[in-house]
């Protein structure tokens, strides 16, 4: 990586952020560096987190080091794309910085540590997280927290799991199909009337049947009251869990029975919140007030178009330095080079890694187009200018070094450049329903003249006999050659 080249900065190093680097680096490495900023010291394999509640002994493998071969896929992709081989490799143009981005400005991002990293193109792939999770974390601390939770699970007799998305469902079904934890009494509480409520109701029926087979109690249409200070999970004794009806669910669709549950362990798997706060300093109008997701255009560029601004409330006004940057005359030009992908972006697609991967592909091609087109357009514009030789040389120098984007070319570039738009398929999921069973489910396709009422499709598989769910394969891909699982 050389400091002379401008940066494509990617904020977030989970599945989608890492994939963005894989796809962008081989396309732009000759002209740009790609810098990924990630708050955690290690890549977190969150796919295996639900299973780690039941199965002990591989929690340290869930955190994979950011090695020098982490972006080896970028080198392999160069060959797949048919790009000419150079002396340098795409991965050599990449860099990983551990830190938390607390603010974004027109030309740089600012880290909590005070470090400033300049960018020409910016990708926000921060995903979602629980409140308080947006801070730097180390592997040693994360592994220790997991082992403490595993001890609580091991010692518990009655476990209440709150939230019936994919995470909560996989957690409870693993508990009941893994022999050391299968005898525990498990209750799953969900505030909606349907499990997996973002999908077609048929998946709810399938999952509900499976939970019944495994002897898991299910409470629907009620919310758990979380006490101030949290549940007394550390005390090792039974306590009451209070439930209240969800007023948005019809009474006849709520589970009957008591509004109190007995438990000695409560595990919260409720929806996470979008980690969009760093963008508030640059583009507050791109953040949806009610949800916190980032608005994006079909091209995945952040969207601050006027049609959205009337929806902002007075509480959403931004003061001080943020307002100054938001109203900058060059803000439109800056924002054309700022993208958002993955769970933090309001794309219309369901929140999962697979749609995020497809978004990363569209984004990578668009950044490649913009970089190529911008360089060509600037040089063509300079050739057409009737200026003295010394002035022309100065303009050429500015264009080639790209230190000033104000050459009067923005309108010309935007008119001629046609970017790719992201479109998404109906939601689908591969959902583990225990160690010995899984389902691949896809929502109905969009109606067509030939099929006005499409149905969902699904197929069963035997789950994952590999208790660690392909952890070894991910280490081989991202940390090739590393034999120390604790690294």
Tokens describing residue 86: 């150079």
Residue range(s) in the chain whose domain bears CATH number 3.50.50.60: 7-135+273-416, 156-271
Q: What pLDDT does 327 receive?
A: 46
Dihedral Cα 386, 387, 389, 394, nearest 10 deg: -120
| Helices and strands (H and E) in the chain: how many | 13, 24
User: For residue 264, what is the DSSP state?
Assistant: S
Q: What pLDDT does 401 receive?
A: 52
Considering the domain 156-271, what is its CATH architecture? 3-Layer(bba) Sandwich (3.50)
CATH topology of domain 7-135+273-416: FAD/NAD(P)-binding domain (3.50.50)
Please say whether the beta carbons of 338 and 281 come within 8 A: no
Q: Which of 27-31, 87-91, 289-293, 346-350 is predicted least confidently?
A: 87-91
Instruction: Say how far residue 124 (Cα) sits from the centre of its chain.
Output: 9
**How far is the CA of 289 from the CAs of 294, 316, 327, 341, 350, in angstroms?**
10, 7, 19, 18, 19
% pLDDT > 70, the chain = 84
Q: Which of 73-77, 168-172, 272-276, 379-383 is predicted least confidently?
A: 379-383
3-state secondary structure of 317: coil
**How far is the CA of 452 from the CAs of 15, 341, 457, in angstroms?**
36, 32, 15
Helix, strand, coil shares of the chain as percentages rounded to 5? 35, 20, 45
In angstroms, rounded to a whole number, what is the distance separating the alpha carbons of residues 261 and 222?
12
In angstroms, rounded to a whole number, what is the distance separating the alpha carbons of residues 72 and 92?
10
pTM score? 0.86
């Amino acid at each position: 990586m050389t400091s002379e080249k401008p940066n494509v900065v990617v904020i977030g190093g989970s599945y989608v952020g890492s994939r963005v680097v894989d796809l962008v680096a081989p396309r732009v490495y000759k002209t740009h560096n790609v810098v990924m900023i990630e708050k955690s010291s290690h890549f977190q394999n969150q796919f295996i987190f639900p299973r780690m509640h039941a199965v002990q002994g591989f929690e340290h493998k869930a955190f994979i080091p950011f090695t020098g071969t982490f972006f080896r896929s970028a080198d392999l992709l160069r060959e797949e794309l048919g790009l000419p081989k150079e002396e340098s490799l795409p991965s050599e143009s990449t860099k990983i910085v551990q830190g938390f981005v607390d603010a974004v400005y027109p030309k740089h991002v600012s880290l909590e540590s005070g470090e400033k990293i300049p960018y020409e193109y910016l990708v926000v792939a921060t995903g979602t997280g629980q409140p308080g999770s947006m801070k730097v974390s180390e592997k040693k601390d994360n592994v220790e927290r997991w082992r403490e939770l595993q001890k609580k699970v091991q010692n518990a007799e009655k476990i209440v799991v709150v939230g019936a998305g994919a995470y909560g469902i996989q957690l409870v079904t693993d508990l009941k199909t893994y022999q050391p934890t299968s005898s525990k009494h498990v209750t799953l509480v969900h505030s909606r009337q349907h499990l997996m409520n973002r999908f077609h109701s048929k998946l709810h029926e399938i999952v509900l049947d499976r939970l019944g087979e495994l002897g898991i109690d299910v409470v629907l249409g009620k919310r758990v009251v979380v006490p101030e200070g949290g549940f007394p999970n550390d005390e090792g004794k039974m306590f009451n869990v209070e439930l209240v009806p969800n007023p948005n669910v019809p009474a006849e669709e709520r589970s009957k029975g008591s509004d109190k549950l007995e438990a000695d362990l409560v595990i919260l798997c409720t929806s996470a919140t979008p980690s969009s706060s760093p963008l508030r300093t640059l583009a507050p109008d791109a953040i949806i007030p009610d949800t916190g997701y980032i608005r994006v255009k079909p091209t995945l560029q952040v969207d601050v178009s006027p049609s959205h601004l009337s929806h902002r409330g007075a509480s959403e006004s931004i003061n001080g330095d943020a307002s100054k940057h938001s109203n900058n005359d060059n803000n439109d030009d800056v924002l054309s080079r700022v993208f958002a992908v993955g769970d933090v972006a309001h794309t219309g697609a369901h929140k999962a890694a697979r749609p995020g991967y497809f978004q990363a592909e569209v984004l990578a091609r668009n950044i490649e187009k913009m970089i190529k087109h911008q360089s060509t357009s600037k040089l063509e514009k300079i050739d057409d200018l009737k200026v003295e030789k010394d002035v022309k040389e100065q303009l050429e120098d500015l264009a080639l070094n790209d230190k000033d984007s104000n050459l009067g070319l923005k309108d010309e570039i935007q008119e001629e450049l046609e970017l790719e738009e992201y479109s998404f398929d109906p939601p689908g999921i591969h959902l583990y329903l225990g160690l010995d069973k899984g389902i691949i489910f896809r929502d109905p396709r969009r109606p067509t003249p030939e099929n006005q009422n499409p149905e969902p499709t699904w197929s069963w598989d035997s789950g994952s006999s590999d208790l660690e769910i392909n952890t070894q394969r991910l280490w081989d891909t991202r940390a090739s050659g590393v034999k120390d699982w604790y690294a």
